[in-house]
Amino acid sequence: MPKKIAIVACYFHPNYGSQLQSLATQKILDDLGIENEIINITGLKKQINSAKYKYFFSRIIDPNTVKDKIGTLTYAIQLKINKNSFGRNVAIRNSMFSKFADEMFKLSKVYASKEDLGNNCHKYAAVLIGSDQLWLPSNIEADYYTLNFVPEDIPKIAFATSFGVSTIPKAQRKKAATFLKRIDFLSTREKSGQQIIKELTDRDVPVVCDPTLLFTSDDWLYIQKIKRIITEKYIFCYLLGNNPIHRRFVQELKKITGYKIVQLKHLDEYIKSDEFFSDYSPYDIGPSEYISLIRDSEYVCTDSFHGTVFSILHSKPFFSFRRYQEDSSVSTNSRLHSIMSSLNLKDRSITGEESLDDCINREIDYDTVNKLLAEFRDSSKEYLINALNHSGIKV
């Protein structure tokens, strides 16, 4: 019987959370002594992206989808018209992501198509789909992260996989139910995902922690340099959304504390006002440097799930902004609500309209948080080990 596990993950995307959770998924299997490799997406990209573009085109009348994608379009335009400045900086950052991927990930051979991959699946003992928002509506249509290419007799495991959204569009519910029922061991990252699976399959599944949370801040030191990137005291600002009120909150925090603002800017979209927002905005920051910037900060202000996760791991005073309106069809706020609720951190989730004095005076009881996190980490590992054992892979 084959011993190697195939990991299906979004390792290739130039996104800090995507690469770090992919690495964490690989690392936990390594630590358990399980041979593994991440499926190389190179030969599958065109097929997957074609289906995603078709889905987005079908949603052209949905104002929330259009608004969400305007940022992507603006980003592409800026890359074309500002090749010598913005384009060069983005190339520097993307090279950091590429370097990280080349150095850290163990990849499979290149498969020509999903059909080719499916025909080669019997060389794996199981296929494990990792975390991140891999079951977004667009990814359901792309039909890769659904694991529908995996033959029936190969065990399929979902570890902390996220739908990203709180509800599945009505037109996709049948598709979602079909692929979910094929997965032998289901778990999800958010309570909303747990509810979706119950509604669609009548299965009770556990909520487990994101793979990045399986490791402590000390565990993550192995990919970092000890030397500080920024020597002054600073507020680390990692905002993906274009919400002026969030920036005003950060500026007020700077006024009160006297700390500099260090920002990673223009990540999901080009935001013109950010050109004049921060004191430092380095581009030569890969996933390793990203963790270091959180590690050495005085405060973290973010609207990102993984920005929140690594703030918690490093016991930082942080504020987690809600990036979307709660009723938006593209809102991914549920993942933040879930982690905050699980770790007794609800008061760290803010809109940016709150009193800054009140927010600063809200202390975080990290003794309690770390105790809850340790319990969450242990139960999540137990789920994974149980799934592997029942798939015939002895841990």
Question: 76-114, pLDDT tens digit by residue?
Answer: 777 777 777 888 999 999 999 999 999 999 999 999 999
pLDDT computed for residue 327 by the predictor: 47
Domain that includes residue 346, residue range: 219-369
| Overall size of the chain counted in residues | 395
- The model carries a pTM of 0.92
Q: Is residue 395 part of a domain?
A: no
Whether 205 and 264 map to the same domain: the answer is no
Whether 181 and 302 map to the same domain: the answer is no
The Cα 276–Cα 117 span in angstroms is 47
Looking at the predicted structure, is the pLDDT value of residue 331 above 50? no
Whether 100 and 228 map to the same domain: the answer is no
Please report, rounded to a whole number, the percentage of residues in the chain having pLDDT higher than 90: 80
Q: How many CB atoms lie within 10 A of CB 101?
A: 20
The model's pLDDT over 160-170, given as tens digits with 9 standing for 90+, comes to: 999 988 889 99
pLDDT computed for residue 329 by the predictor: 43
DSSP letters of 188-234?
A: BSSHHHHHHHHHHH-----B---GGGGS-TTGGGGGS-SS-S--S-E
Q: Is residue 301 part of a domain?
A: yes
Amino acid (1-letter code) at residue 307: G
Whether 134 and 268 map to the same domain: the answer is no
Whole-Å CA distances, 338 to 136, 190, 253, 305, 370: 17, 5, 26, 10, 16
Amino acid (1-letter code) at residue 277: F
Q: Is residue 296 part of a domain?
A: yes
pLDDT computed for residue 71 by the predictor: 64
Q: What's 281's domain CATH number?
A: 3.40.50.2000
| Average pLDDT score, the chain | 92
Q: Is residue 137 part of a domain?
A: yes
Q: Is residue 86 part of a domain?
A: yes
Into how many domains does the chain fold?
2
Q: Is residue 231 part of a domain?
A: yes
The Cα 300–Cα 317 span in angstroms is 7
Question: Across residues 336-349, what is the average pLDDT?
Answer: 90
Looking at the predicted structure, is the pLDDT value of residue 141 above 70? yes
pLDDT computed for residue 81 by the predictor: 74
38-52, 63-77, 116-130, 360-374 — which is least confidently predicted?
Answer: 63-77
Whether 108 and 167 map to the same domain: the answer is yes
